């Protein structure tokens, strides 16, 4: 009985010592991790050009992860203790740490996704605004083109109207010149018979029983022929050189 109690007490003390030893190793490893994290933060906060900052940061992370992966691949697992209880606690601790790291990574990824969604929404709103601006500018351009075409047509019509008015004025001037020339030609070669009609009318009214008038050089021959052809004047039946006015009032 006493031996059993001593065994239990010995196992208890050995468990306590192993736990303290494990905690010491964990603290040293944690300090080492903090130092590594601080060094990475210092490397990540170096001043970079704006155009290459993101790329350089990503390349630095890739190199660090590659080195860490290579170290883990070449590293042989070291057991700090052969005690099953210590190994179970150590495994739980590592699993908890891995879970925390994964949760932190998940939170970071979700935060980045939310920022990307917000950026995407802003870009979509900006794109819609730009499309509206383009549509408005296109409509304004079409209106300006229509106005320019209308102005061009009006200008062309005005120019055509001025040209027609100019031609009409030239035609009127030409017509006036032709009429003046024709009038002079008629006055020169075909003077109006001013005295012949008066003589015929006076002879008919004064001497109705002898209305005939002898044709002389003062009578215009074409005019006499016109009067005879139209039946206004009649020749004497016996003397063709004498004519009289038709008595329309009889």
Give per-residue pLDDT as tens, 192-220. Answer: 555 556 777 777 788 878 888 888 877 77
Residue 164: enclosing H or E segment and its boundaries?
helix 84-189
- The pLDDT of residue 4 is 42
Share of the chain above pLDDT 90, in %: 6
Q: How far, in Å, CA of 125 to CA of 21, rounded?
A: 60
- pLDDT band, residue 91 (cuts 50/70/90): confident
- The pLDDT of residue 6 is 46
Is 244:233 a contact under the CB 8 Å cutoff?
yes
Scan for tokens 């883990």, then name that residue.
72
- pLDDT band, residue 11 (cuts 50/70/90): very low
pTM value? 0.31
- pLDDT band, residue 93 (cuts 50/70/90): confident
Residue 213 DSSP SS3: strand
Most confident listed range (25-29, 146-150, 243-247): 146-150
Give the residue, 107 or 88, on which the prediction is more confident. 107
Q: How far, in Å, CA of 150 to CA of 152, rounded?
A: 5
Average pLDDT over residues 63-82: 66
Average pLDDT over residues 124-150: 89
Written as six digits, the tokens of 151 are 């102005």
- pLDDT band, residue 79 (cuts 50/70/90): low
- The pLDDT of residue 78 is 57
């Amino acid at each position: 009985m006493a031996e059993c109690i001593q065994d239990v007490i010995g196992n208890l003390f050995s468990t306590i010592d192993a736990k303290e030893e494990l905690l010491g190793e964990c603290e040293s490893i944690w300090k080492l991790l903090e130092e590594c994290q601080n060094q990475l933060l210092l490397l990540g906060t170096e001043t970079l050009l704006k155009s290459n900052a993101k790329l350089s940061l990503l390349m630095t992370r890739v190199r660090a992860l590659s080195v860490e992966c290579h170290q883990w691949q070449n590293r042989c697992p070291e057991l700090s203790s052969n005690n099953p209880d210590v190994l179970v606690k150590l495994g739980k601790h590592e699993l908890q740490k891995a879970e925390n790291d994964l949760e932190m990574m998940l939170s970071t990824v979700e935060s980045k996704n939310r920022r990307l969604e917000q950026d995407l929404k802003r870009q979509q709103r900006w794109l819609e605004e730009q499309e509206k601006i383009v549509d408005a500018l296109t409509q304004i351009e079409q209106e300006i083109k229509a106005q320019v075409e209308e102005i061009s047509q009006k200008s062309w019509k005005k120019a055509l109207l001025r040209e027609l008015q100019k031609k009409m004025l030239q035609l009127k001037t030409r017509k006036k010149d032709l009429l003046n020339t024709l009038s002079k030609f008629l006055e020169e070669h075909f003077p109006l018979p001013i005295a012949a009609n008066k003589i015929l009318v006076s002879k008919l009214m004064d001497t109705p029983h002898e209305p005939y008038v002898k044709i002389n050089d003062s009578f215009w021959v074409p005019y006499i022929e016109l009067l005879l052809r139209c039946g206004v004047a009649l020749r004497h039946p016996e003397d063709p050189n004498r004519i009289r006015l038709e008595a329309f009032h009889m």
